Amino acid sequence: MPLDAITVCALVNELKDALIGTKIDKVQQPSRDTLILSVRGNGSNGKLLISAGTGTARVHFQSESFENPQTPPMFCMLLRKHLVGARIAGLSQPGMERMLIFDLDTYDEMGSESKKRLVVELMGRNSNIILTDTEGHIIDCLRRVDGDMSRVRQLMPGLIYRLPPEQDRPNFFSVPAREKEALWKNADLEVSADKWLLDTFSGLSPLVCRELCYSAAGDVSKRTAQFSESEKTAFLAQMRALENRVTTCDFTPTMLIKDEKPYDFSFMPIRQYENAAQTASYPDFSSMLEDFYTKRDKQEQMRRKSQALYKSAKSAHERTLRKLAARREELKKTENRDQNRRFGDLITANLYRIKKGDRVAEVEDYFDENCPRLKIPLDPLKTPQQNAAAYYKEYTKAKTAEKYLGDLIEKGEKEEEYLQSVMDEIQRCESERDLMEIRRELTDTGFIKAQKTCKGEKLRETAPLRFVSSTGTEILVGKNNAQNDKLTTKTAHRTDIWLHVQRLHGSHVVISCDGSEPDKETLFEAATLAAYYSQGRESGKVPVDYTQVRFVKKPSGSMPGKVVYTDYKTIMVTPDEKLVLKLKKE
């Protein structure tokens, strides 16, 4: 749900105390629509996320870290020039609109004191971030809007910044109580009360309108004509209560949860869904908005970034399957090779009876104890000896092909299994660097072509994921096949405990216990990690095998990530994301 004007008002009240007086220490732009301002002062440091994405526009403090591009975007470079070192002097919301204005005290190029403004418009697909100077001229903006894009309002460097045009409906909070009462008495009887609110006033979201209707009449979309006098009075009382809630800043960050997933949020308790949704209260809006948006945003960004690589891996997988099918078909044809040798032997034994030009040789099949008559097709242009030699040649060719095709099929099966594991890893990637490592792995194994990179540019290897069990034992998890190999064959000690999900693709997991027996809690948590970082993530109970690293071997010539192991035991666990997040260490 997009932020409504009242939630923005609540956000401004919450952020004022934390931000006013702080200095901007760093500016980052991890994605096209997202800025991160690192601020310090007031006795603490923090990261303020500002997003102007369609459907995800918001402002709040952020605890999770973001991966930044290797080369900062131009807008980010410009903001660093103007904002780093600036002090936040004020934060406001003009006219109960869905926007925030940061007043900044900074210095110009000559070192003189200067005032700038960072305007954040949170208006759906028209969301934007604009930087203006002391006189209100636009220095630059995230999305430039010229005359061809909008005749009403342009946003270009050098132009005077003007607030968005007012809507054709009066703002709910600017209309006097008596006028609201008069409008309600004259409301269209055929229109539902929630729709009447939306059509009559600006500044209210559909969720809030439905909640007022539900609180007054027990129905989220009851027609005005069906309201009793007491319900009409209650509806007016609910409108006054809402206005009073905003005036007194009586806000309760509330998340709505459906099917264990964030569904919606509000600045006040929501009861209209009854038992169809659960509600969760938060101590502040920043933590609520982070929970609602950040995980979903990261997953969507990774989905977009991984799409091309996944498509390449899938194409290689499909190509391997086609080759396997063709080779298996060829191998099937070699099954009759013994018949060719048999025909050659029978022709050789009956050379005196066969003449050049014969199309068929009818002989006794002495390979059968009953010696039945057998007709052997011949090439009339060849001598009997040449026909026999041709059958022997076909036999030898089929015998050689069987061995050769068997090797190719075995190799193809290994490649097909490997590419399946790669596709699984791509879907579980958590950062762009993880994708780059998998791309390099696919390039090294020859499945995709190498991308052109800057001369001398090298991809730095990342470390395995690190976790610490409840009892303080380190657990390492590989993020891709190459890293799995390195973790198991080089990093881990021989007496560490190695875990892997049974008969599914997944990460190698190592408990760094170096000879000592891990406690049951650590073993259970490590097995849960192995199940979570595997194809069985969405399953119920998952079997996980574990053994000492010394019993894990990498077969010669095998694909990355492929190992065999012995002397193992099995534990059944359920993938648990909450436990994974609890144990994870940066």
Name the average pLDDT for the chain: 90
Residue 354, pLDDT > 50, answer yes
Residue 297, pLDDT > 80, answer no
Domain contains 94: yes
Tell me, yes or no, whether 402 and 537 share the same domain. Answer: no
What is the model's pLDDT at position 586?
Answer: 64
**pLDDT tens digits, one per residue of 526-538:** 999 999 999 999 8
d(Cα 160, Cα 137) in Å, to the nearest integer?
4
What is the model's pLDDT at position 458?
Answer: 57
Domain contains 387: yes
3-state secondary structure (DSSP) of residue 522: helix
Share of the chain above pLDDT 90, in %: 62
Q: Name the pLDDT band for 452 (thresholds 50, 70, 90).
A: low
Residues 561 and 418 sit within 8 Å (Cβ to Cβ): yes
Domain contains 202: yes
Tell me, yes or no, whether 125 and 223 share the same domain. Answer: no
Tell me, yes or no, whether 198 and 342 share the same domain. Answer: no
Domain that holds residue 92: 5-141
Domain contains 118: yes
Q: Name the pLDDT band for 454 (thresholds 50, 70, 90).
A: very low
Tell me, yes or no, whether 277 and 333 share the same domain. Answer: no
**pLDDT tens digits, one per residue of 484-498:** 999 999 999 999 999
8-state DSSP, 513: -
Higher pLDDT, 511 or 427: 511
Q: Name the pLDDT band for 259 (thresholds 50, 70, 90).
A: confident
Q: How many domains does the chain have?
A: 4
What is the model's pLDDT at position 522?
Answer: 95
Listed residues 444, 462, 480: the one ending a domain: 462
Tokens read off for 558: 């095998």
Domain contains 167: no
Listed residues 462, 488, 505: the one ending a domain: 462
Domain contains 164: no
Helix (H), strand (E) at residue 323:
helix 295-333
Separation in Å, CA 573 to CA 465, 502, 524, 542, 576: 20, 11, 7, 5, 9
Residue whose token pair is 């509806």: 235
Close Cβ partners of 418 (under 8 Å, ≥ 6 residues apart): 445, 481, 559, 560, 561, 562
Tell me, yes or no, whether 455 and 498 share the same domain. Answer: no
Q: Once rounded to an integer, what is the mean pLDDT over residues 556-575? A: 94
Tokens read off for 300: 């969507």
Tell me, yes or no, whether 354 and 445 share the same domain. Answer: yes
Residue 313, pLDDT > 70, answer yes
Residue whose token pair is 């636009």: 138
Tell me, yes or no, whether 226 and 281 share the same domain. Answer: yes
Q: What is the DSSP string of 403-459?
A: HHHHHHHHHHHHHHHHHHHHHHHHHT--SHHHHHHHHHHHHHTTSSPPPP--TT--P
d(Cα 31, Cα 56) in Å, to the nearest integer?
13
What is the model's pLDDT at position 456?
Answer: 46
Rg (alpha carbons) of the chain, rounded to whole number: 36
Tell me, yes or no, whether 455 and 479 share the same domain. Answer: no
Close Cβ partners of 43 (under 8 Å, ≥ 6 residues apart): none
Tell me, yes or no, whether 330 and 390 share the same domain. Answer: yes
What is the model's pLDDT at position 406?
Answer: 85
Listed residues 141, 156, 188: the one ending a domain: 141
Q: Once rounded to an integer, what is the mean pLDDT over residues 541-563? A: 94
Domain contains 296: no
Residue 521, pLDDT > 90, answer yes
Share of the chain above pLDDT 70, in %: 97
Domain contains 518: yes
**pLDDT tens digits, one per residue of 465-488:** 999 999 999 999 999 999 999 999
Q: Name the pLDDT band for 455 (thresholds 50, 70, 90).
A: very low
Q: Once rounded to an integer, what is the mean pLDDT over residues 202-206? A: 91
Residues 19 and 40 sit within 8 Å (Cβ to Cβ): no
Residue 228: CATH number of its domain = 1.10.8
Tell me, yes or no, whether 390 and 478 share the same domain. Answer: no
Tokens read off for 561: 């990530």
Residues 374 and 366 sit within 8 Å (Cβ to Cβ): no
**pLDDT tens digits, one per residue of 338-348:** 888 888 888 89
Q: Once rounded to an integer, what is the mean pLDDT over residues 267-289? A: 91
Residue whose token pair is 């009409």: 232
**pLDDT tens digits, one per residue of 403-449:** 888 889 989 999 999 999 999 999 888 777 888 889 888 998 888 88
Tell me, yes or no, whether 411 and 422 share the same domain. Answer: yes
Residue 93: CATH number of its domain = 2.30.310.10
Separation in Å, CA 207 to CA 7, 87, 196, 361, 540: 12, 37, 13, 90, 35
What is the model's pLDDT at position 305?
Answer: 80
Tell me, yes or no, whether 221 and 275 share the same domain. Answer: yes
Three-state helix/strand/coil letters over 152-166: CCCECCCCECCCCCC
**pLDDT tens digits, one per residue of 89-144:** 999 999 889 999 999 999 877 778 899 999 999 988 899 999 999 899 999 999 99
